[in-house]
Structure 1
Amino acid sequence: MDTDLIAPLDPGWERALAPQREALAAVGQSITARRAGGEQVLPAPEDILRAFRQPFEAVRVLILGQDPYPTPGHPIGLSFAVDRHVAPLPRSLANIYRELSTDLGQAPASHGDLSAWTEQGVLLLNRVLTVGAGQAGSHRNLGWEAITEAAVAALAARAAQGPPLVAILWGAEARKMAPVLRAHGAGRVGLIESPHPSPLSAYRGFFGSRPFSRANELLAQAGAAPVDWRLD
């Protein structure tokens, strides 16, 4: 896929996102212009499309967030995750670990590396894939929403005909994808919706939502193996 964004992507994602070539090129050009104007764009160029390097056919749980952390050094192209050395953890991630502990009795990890989840087919995706440093939400309406909606629709369409998919939608922007998942998934996509885990909304329904055990229950109902949510 020829864009101003650093690739390559997984071949399955290349096919799924082929209709978005022009949109990706346009977003890439906008990001290039912002950088040229002095804006620090996060994450690093090689990580912007990182989620789409994960095998398309292997995705069985989608965790959909809103946009990357705006703190330099935090976003790495996987929603909610940070590199292992980052401390303290972003507060949204700390709240995710708190809910994971309540839900499954797992002790919170001492780091924010969620790659153990991605290796089991958990796709960590945001609706918007870039942000300006220190400017939360600053790249909304830049063009990412149409691209990630196409990605979500492609996963749902795949689930309608093949391996099951569970979608965990955190926050208002992510929850806008519920109708897309229903429309393309032919009733075969398990949906788990809640407020975002950020400190501003976690107490409005994220805490107590049990997304991890519920995802495994939905996978079991579809005849799929559960996710081992433990992190070393």
Structure 2
Amino acid sequence: DLGISIPNNGERTDWAKQGVLMMNTVLTVRQGQPNSHKGKGWEQLTDAVIKKLNERNVPTAFILWGGNAKAKAPLITNPIHAVFKAAHPSPLSAYNGFFGCRHFSKVNDFLVSNNIQPIDWTISNK
């Protein structure tokens, strides 16, 4: 999307330092069993986090990847925020709409249009 080199790792600390929060709708899972902890209570916590972020009066970009995340869109009601939705980037579904969604550049365009510093999406090689 942005012409950034593919890193040799998935370290995203630099993203977090710029204000990027990455969060699944359910925070734990049994190994190799997607959604195995769905409906066990995590949704109450993650919904509360989304609702709290929605209350902020700072324009915020929400990126919802995958069906579980897209189902959270109704929680984002503040019109100053932007919501971007696509397929999950996992190897099983990335070709169903993640590739080509250009969310990284769209988020930066949204931030710049609101006089907010864009995210440097670069991940440094280790």
Same fold (TM over 0.5): yes
Does the alignment pair 1:171 with 2:66? yes
List gaps (5 residues or longer) in structure 1: 1-102
Q: CA deviation at 1:134?
A: 2.9
Aligned twin of 2:21 = 123
Q: Distance in 2 between matches of 1:231 and 1:130?
A: 25
Match of 2:66, as an amino acid? G
Q: Tell me which amino acid in the other structure corresponds to 1:151.
A: V
| Cα separation, 2, equivalents of 1:181 and 1:148 | 13
Taking the aligned partners of 1:181 and 1:147, their CA distance within structure 2 comes to: 15
In the aligned structure 2, how far is the partner of 1:180 from the partner of 1:230?
30
2:39 corresponds to 1:141: yes
Distance 2:73 2:48 in 1: 13
Contact 2:87 2:93 in 1 (8 A): yes
Look up the equivalent residue of 2:117 and give its one-letter code: A
Whether 2:1 is the aligned partner of 1:109: answer no
Q: Relative CO higher for 1 or 2, CA cutoff 8 Å, sep ≥ 6?
A: 2
Once residues 14 and 114 of structure 2 are traced to their aligned partners in structure 1, the CA distance between those partners, rounded to angstroms, is 22
The TM-score with structure 1 as length reference comes to: 0.52
| Secondary structure of 2:21's aligned partner | strand
Once the 2 structures are TM-superposed, how far is the Cα of residue 178 of structure 1 from its aligned partner? 1.1
Q: 1:196, 1:134 → 2: CA distance?
A: 16
Sequence identity (%): 43
The answer to which structure has the higher helix fraction is: 1
Which of residues 78, 81, 104 is equivalent to 1:212?
Answer: 104
Q: CA RMSD in A?
A: 1.0
* Mapping 1:88-107, distance limit 5 Å: 103-107=1-5
Q: How far apart are residue 157 of structure 1 and its match?
A: 0.7
Deviation, 1:147, is 1.4
Which structure has the larger Rg? 1
1:156 partnered with 2:54: yes
Deviations 1:162-184 (CA, angstroms, capped at 9, x unpaired): 222000100000011111112xx
Normalization by structure 2: what TM-score?
0.94
Superposition pairs of residues 8-87 of structure 1, within 5 angstroms: none
Tell me the distance in 1 between the aligned counterparts of 2:88 and 2:45.
21
1:149-172 C-alpha deviation (Å, 9 max, x unpaired): 1110100111xxx22200010000
Cα separation, 1, equivalents of 2:91 and 2:123: 22
